[in-house]
Amino acid sequence: MSLSSVFLPFCRSPRSPSRPTPLTPAPESARVSALLKAALCGSAQDFQEQIHPHIRCVGFPEFTPHNREELFGFFNYLLEVFAEPQLTIEELPGTAQQATVEFCVRGRHREEFMGLPATGGQLQLCAQLMVRTEAEVITDMWICDKRISLTTTTGSVYRLHLPREQQEHPLR
C-alpha cells in the first residue's frame, strides 16, 4: 500500500522534474503530501492558496488550530519539537474531495511535546492526516490514529497509542 515515502532533508533536495513522480492513489493524496512536506520545511507559500482561511481542525496534539495561520504555526511548532526531523508519508486511497495520508515524523526531542519536557531522546509521532476539500481548497483537517514513541538517551522505549475508539475520528 506504500506508494510514496519521503525522508527529510527533502527541503534541501527537491524532486528533479526529470524524475517520474510515483503513482498515487488519488490526486488529492499527492497534493496533501506535497503540502505536508512544504509545511514541515517551514514554507507558508502553499498555505495561502490551498488552505481555507477558517479551516476546521480536529484531533491535533497540543492545541487545535482555528485558522490557516494557527495551522501553519502548528507545523512550525513540530519543527521546534523535532531536531533534525525525518518524515515519511504514505499516500492512502481517497476521493476527489477527501484524502488521507499516513505520516511519521521522527527526530531528537528538543522541546516540550504533549506535556513531556525535552529529553534529547528520539521522539516519533505517527498519525493519519485526513482532509476534505471544496473547490480545490482544504476546508477540514483531522489527525487520527496518533502513535507516539520516545527512545530515551539511555535506551528505554515508551509508547503511547490510543485505541481508535478513544480518538476522534471523522468517518464515524
CATH T-level assignment (fold) for domain 27-166: Nuclear Transport Factor 2; Chain: A, (3.10.450)
Domain boundaries, the chain: 27-166
Grid cell of 148 as nine digits: 507516539
Residue found by looking up cell 490514529 in the block: 145
Q: What is the pLDDT of residue 4?
A: 33
Residue 120 and residue 161: Cα distance in Å, rounded?
A: 21
Task: Write out pLDDT tens, residues 98-130.
Answer: 889 999 999 999 999 988 899 999 999 999 999
Q: How do residues 147-161 score in pLDDT, each as one tens digit?
A: 999 999 999 999 987
Q: Which residues of the chain have pLDDT under 70?
A: 1-27, 44, 162-172
User: What is the predicted pLDDT for the residue at 104?
Assistant: 95
pLDDT computed for residue 159 by the predictor: 92
The grid coordinates of residue 111 equal: 522541546
Nearest 5 degrees, angle CA 146-CA 147-CA 153? 140
Other Cβ atoms closer than 10 A to 103: 21
